[in-house]
């Protein structure tokens, strides 16, 4: 069988049979036919091999070639229901105005709950939000002979001229990324260098990896250190990690609101004191007893749904769960008690360019937020998206804590049939 024979035969069932018999590999289909036909051939193969019916998987609404940078061995699309919450007024460092937030999830009652929280925030005049720190990290690990060579390596890294040399090497690989700094860590004969980058409107993981690889060649050439792995897990990517909760990764973002006491009672059917107590005993004390890195009710719910809707790396919801929720009862001069509520997300890794943000569905969702593509100045769109997601997480925390404080959580799910 020749390549020309394959090119002339685009029948998906025949192609599937050739994959099954071993004359063609599963990942080679796009070398001979267009991506949609290749995906159909794989569905034929799987239906024959497993007995599954993939009609719905194959009913997707964009050309398969547009997903080429995002998936291998494509068979179709996983269609997660998408809804929208909002609008809500946000006064942010980058976000300014009223925003809708698309959320994709299979968890019934989530959007209803978030929308209830946003309604309270909207009636309170909106939320403030700020990105307080930004930097995507990559931390390679090097081998040295011992602590003497480790100290020599660290001393070389911390020299201002050498740092500038590493900055020039790293930034030569990207037209947008900027090296913010390098933090060294020594563990015996291992040296970890935690590079941090301003990646503008990109989430920037690939950008940081490529740039760090270029810099590592200089470290190896100029110091006793030998590179073992380009990622030494001190980054730390897609894993619960205290370093991200403390130092941040991606964007550290905070949102807050003061909800008047009468609104707490009218919209959330409880009191500021009750919500504050529930937060202290559940999110703070309970989380501390559990050894949790996240001190919140369910911030990852909103982060995950926003990530799926807007094309973020869904595995980085792990870092998005590094959130601390605070709720305080504040007494006014007239004796009324208002509720101060905040969320601080230490490591929210988002972008509005690159990766899954370019997929058609996700691009449309970013258009709903009004934040697709690069911002002016660069980085402002991703900052704004982080602030909008943070306000969504704040709304989710308000609503859930109110439901717990008023003992309405189970009845709310029952009423919605979830």
The C-alpha atoms of residue 110 and residue 300 are separated, in whole angstroms, by 12
Query: Please, are residues 400 and 131 in contact by the beta-carbon 8 Å criterion?
Result: no
Query: Please, are residues 43 and 59 in contact by the beta-carbon 8 Å criterion?
Result: no
- Rounded to the nearest 10 degrees, what angle do helices 380-405 and 299-310 cross at? 140
The C-alpha atoms of residue 185 and residue 159 are separated, in whole angstroms, by 16
Q: What integer pLDDT is reported at residue 415 of this predicted model?
A: 52
- Asked if the peptide bond before residue 87 counts as cis, ω within 30 degrees of 0, the response is yes
Q: Which residues are catalytic?
A: 107, 313, 413
Query: Please, are residues 137 and 195 in contact by the beta-carbon 8 Å criterion?
Result: yes
* Domains, the chain: 12-67 (no CATH), 82-134+251-415 (3.90.770.10), 140-229 (3.30.70.420)
**Closest Cα to residue 6, out of 25, 27, 33?**
33
The C-alpha atoms of residue 370 and residue 356 are separated, in whole angstroms, by 17
The 10s digit of each residue's pLDDT in 146-162 is 999 999 999 999 999 99
- Rounded to the nearest 10 degrees, what angle do helices 110-123 and 299-310 cross at? 100
The C-alpha atoms of residue 349 and residue 237 are separated, in whole angstroms, by 10
Query: Please, are residues 335 and 261 in contact by the beta-carbon 8 Å criterion?
Result: no
HSE (CB half, 13 Å, CA atoms) of 241? 18
The C-alpha atoms of residue 387 and residue 381 are separated, in whole angstroms, by 10
Task: Tell me, letter by letter, the H, E, C secondary structure of the chain.
Answer: CCHHHHHHCCCHHHHHHHHHHCCCCHHHHHHCCCHHHHHHHHHHHHHHHHCCCCCCCCCCCCCHHHHCCCCCCCCCCCCCCEEEEEEEEEEECCCEEEEEEEEECCCCCHHHHHHHHHHHHHHCCCEEEEEEEEEEEECCEEECCCHHHHHHHHHHHHCHHHHHHHHHHHHCCCCCCEEEEEEEEEECCEEEEEEEEECCCECCHHHHHHHHHHHHHHHHHHCCCEEEECCCCCCCCCCCCHHHHHHCCEEEEEEEEEECHHHHHHHHCCCHHHHHHHHHHHHHHHHHHHCCCCECCCHHHHHHHHHHHHCCCHHHHHHHCCEEEEEEEEECCCCCEEEEEEEEEEEECCCCECHHHHCHHHHHHHHHHCCCCCCCCCCHHHHHHHHHHHHHHHHHHHHHHHHHHCCCHHHHHHHCCC
Residue stretches of the chain with pLDDT short of 50: 1-6, 8, 410, 412-414
92 - beta bridge partners? 129
The C-alpha atoms of residue 397 and residue 300 are separated, in whole angstroms, by 10
Query: Please, are residues 343 and 254 in contact by the beta-carbon 8 Å criterion?
Result: yes
| Residue 134: C-alpha distances to residues 45, 130, 313, 418 (Å) | 45, 11, 17, 38
* Close Cβ partners of 307 (under 8 Å, ≥ 6 residues apart): 313, 314, 316, 317, 320, 350
Report the phi/psi class of residue 335: left, alpha or beta, with left for phi > 0 and alpha for psi in -120 to 50: left
Query: Please, are residues 33 and 15 in contact by the beta-carbon 8 Å criterion?
Result: yes
User: Would strands 127-138 and 250-259 be described as parallel, antiparallel, or unpaired?
Assistant: antiparallel
């Amino acid at each position: 069988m020749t390549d020309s024979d394959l090119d002339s035969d685009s029948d998906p069932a025949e192609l599937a049979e050739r994959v099954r018999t071993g004359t063609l590999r599963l990942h080679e289909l796009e070398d001979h036919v267009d991506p949609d036909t290749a995906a159909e051939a794989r569905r034929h193969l799987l239906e024959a091999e497993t007995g599954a019916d993939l009609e719905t998987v194959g009913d997707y609404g964009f050309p398969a070639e547009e997903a080429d940078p995002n998936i291998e061995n494509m068979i179709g699309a996983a269609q997660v229901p998408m809804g929208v919450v909002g609008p809500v007024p946000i006064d942010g460092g980058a976000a300014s105005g009223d925003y809708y937030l698309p959320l994709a999830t299979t968890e019934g009652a989530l959007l209803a709950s978030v929308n209830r929280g946003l309604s309270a925030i909207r009636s309170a005049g909106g939320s403030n939000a700020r990105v307080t720190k930004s930097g995507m990290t990559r931390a390679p690990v090097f081998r040295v002979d011992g602590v003497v060579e480790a100290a020599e390596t660290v001393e070389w890294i911390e020299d201002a001229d050498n740092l500038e040399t590493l900055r020039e090497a790293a930034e030569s690989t990207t037209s947008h990324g900027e090296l913010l700094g390098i933090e060294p860590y020594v563990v015996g004969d291992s040296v970890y260098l935690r590079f941090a980058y301003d990646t503008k409107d990109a989430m920037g993981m690939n950008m940081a990896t490529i740039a760090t690889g270029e810099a590592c060649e200089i470290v190896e050439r100029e110091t006793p250190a030998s590179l073992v792995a380009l990622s030494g897990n001190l980054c730390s990517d897609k894993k619960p990690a205290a370093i991200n909760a403390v130092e941040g990764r991606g964007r550290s973002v905070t949102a807050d609101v003061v909800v008047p006491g009468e609104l707490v009672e009218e919209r959330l059917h409880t009191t500021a004191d009750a919500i504050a107590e529930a937060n202290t005993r559940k999110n703070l004390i309970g989380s501390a007893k559990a050894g949790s890195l996240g001190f919140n009710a369910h911030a990852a719910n909103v982060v995950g749904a926003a990530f799926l809707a807007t094309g973020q790396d869904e595995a980085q919801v792990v870092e998005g769960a590094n959130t601390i929720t605070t709720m305080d009862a504040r007494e006014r001069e007239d004796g009324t008690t208002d509720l101060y509520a905040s969320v601080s997300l230490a490591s929210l890794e988002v972008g509005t360019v690159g990766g899954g943000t370019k997929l058609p569905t996700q691009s449309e969702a970013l258009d709903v937020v009004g934040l697709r593509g690069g911002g002016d100045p660069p980085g402002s769109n991703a900052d704004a998206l982080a602030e909008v997601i943070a306000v969504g997480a704040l709304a989710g925390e308000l609503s859930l804590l109110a439901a717990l404080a008023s003992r309405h959580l189970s009845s709310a799910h029952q009423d919605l049939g979830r």
